[in-house]
Amino acid sequence: MIVRLGVAALLLLPPAAFAQGNPGPFAGLFGRTPERTGRELTTLVFRSATGVEATQTLGDRISDDALPDGLSAGGQAGLSLDHLRDRWQLLAYGRGNLQQFLGERAFYAVSYDAGGQTSVKATNRLSFDFSGRASRSPFFQMLPPASADFTQVILPGAPFAARRIDNDAMEAVAGVTSQYSKRSSLSGWYSWRETRFRNERSSDFSARGARVQWRRRMNRDLTARVGYGREEIQQRGADADGFTHELIDIGVDYLRALSVARRTSLAVLTETSVLRESGRRRYRLNGGVDLQHSFRRTWRAAVGVHRATEFLPGFAQPLFSDVGRASIAGLLNNRMSFHANVSGGQSQIGFDTPSSFLTYSGDARLTVAATRRFGVFAQYVYYHYQLPADAQGAILLPNLSRQSVSIGVQTWFPIVNREKVPRDPR
């Protein structure tokens, strides 16, 4: 979808929220990045997690290829690279996951993904950005996860998976930005993404699009922008008609630290979507509001409401979505890290569907550090999907509710950690 142009590049960046305050001696194990001051930086980190997971389907099983209930054991390992030098920055990662399901229908599943981002500042006013990602998985998720940080190794298993079906996903973004004046910039992007289902080729998904945008910073908190984007989406097989999604982007970005509370910020984004299919047009005002508050040095709480026009693999029609999310994360003490997320929303599927696609989920995780490089974790996940009876999509499940509990151990080993800090000129 047009509104997600550049998302691949953004998701590859380390989360800035966890760079604040003093992350403590176990920051690497908890995935909290300390602030860097050097002009040259190279880090190569190995992460792994091993554990067991107990999963339960709430209600009737509605598909033979749905994930089995009961115990599974799994492990995940990966490498992440961060390199910064002069005008060039590179972020890259690779990871693999093996999960063994136990019980009467025992089987194992292997998945992996890899990707990276590079940013080159050709001159003081001209920069280029490229990012890409590829993954292979035996499981399909009805919706993508609420958030992702590809530079971190997540816990083993597939707590949000809906059913077993082999799929390959690829995406890439290329962009250029000209900061032609102190306050103004002109940018352009091209994006491509594709998902292929090896046993359900009629559900294959592809999207290609481009976008240009002019931005003018009015003051510290307010930025005006004008842009146009266009994307061609094919989400019902090669022989079906596709969609054309246009974005008329005339609006403002508002990001401000609120004076009523310290370390609290508000962000507001608006945009207009135009969707065309067989000569029909549909206009929709999209956008979002995010409120974030940092407290007690290492804690962060955030809430957000977003309205979007989405195109997702597995769905034969676009989704007109309204979603709300909330999260909290922080250190209980130097050795204990906690985070929790909840989200919920509804989506209209296609132009004429009166019913809504409902989804809500929640997860919480506690990690305890035994040493700087070794820790134990416990996690709980719950999610629910409910589709309207006339929803189109060969691989979609009409409804699903699942919960899982997992426990295990995780490790963090820095292989390379070099930083060159400028000398004090005094």
Cα 238 to Cα 200, 243, 311, distances in angstroms: 12, 12, 16
Q: Please tell me the total number of residues recorded for the chain in this structure.
A: 426
Write the CB contacts of 421 (distance below 8 Å, at least 6 apart in sequence): 37, 38, 39
Mean pLDDT of all residues in 128-151:
76
Write the CB contacts of 336 (distance below 8 Å, at least 6 apart in sequence): 366, 367, 368, 369
Q: What is the pLDDT of residues 159-215, one digit of tens each?
A: 778 788 899 999 999 999 999 999 999 999 999 999 999 888 888 899 999 999 999
- CB atoms inside a 10 Å sphere around CB 346: 16
Q: Report the percent of the chain where pLDDT is more than 90.
A: 42
Q: Is the pLDDT of residue 1 over 50?
A: no
The single-letter DSSP state of residue 64 is: T
- Proportion of the chain in helix, strand, coil states, percent, rounded to 5: 5, 65, 30
| CA distance linking residue 36 with residue 41, whole number of Å | 8
Q: Is the pLDDT of residue 426 over 60?
A: no
pLDDT of residue 246: 87
- Band (106; pLDDT cuts 50, 70, 90): confident
User: Strand, coil or helix: what is 324?
Assistant: strand
DSSP E strands in 141-279: the ranges are: 163-178, 184-197, 205-217, 222-234, 243-257, 264-277
Q: Is the pLDDT of residue 120 over 80?
A: yes
pLDDT of residue 161: 82
The single-letter DSSP state of residue 151 is: T
Cα 38 to Cα 338, 421, 422, distances in angstroms: 30, 4, 6
The single-letter DSSP state of residue 93 is: E
Q: Is the pLDDT of residue 394 over 80?
A: no
Q: What is the pLDDT of residues 312-356, one digit of tens each?
A: 888 878 888 999 999 999 999 989 999 999 999 998 887 776 668
| CA distance linking residue 150 with residue 148, whole number of Å | 6
Q: Is the pLDDT of residue 395 over 80?
A: no
Whole-prediction pTM: 0.83
Domains in the chain and their CATH numbers?
2-420 (2.40.160)
Cα 231 to Cα 130, 206, 209, 244, 365, distances in angstroms: 18, 10, 4, 6, 38
> Any idea which residue has 């974005």 for tokens?
247
| CA distance linking residue 321 with residue 348, whole number of Å | 7
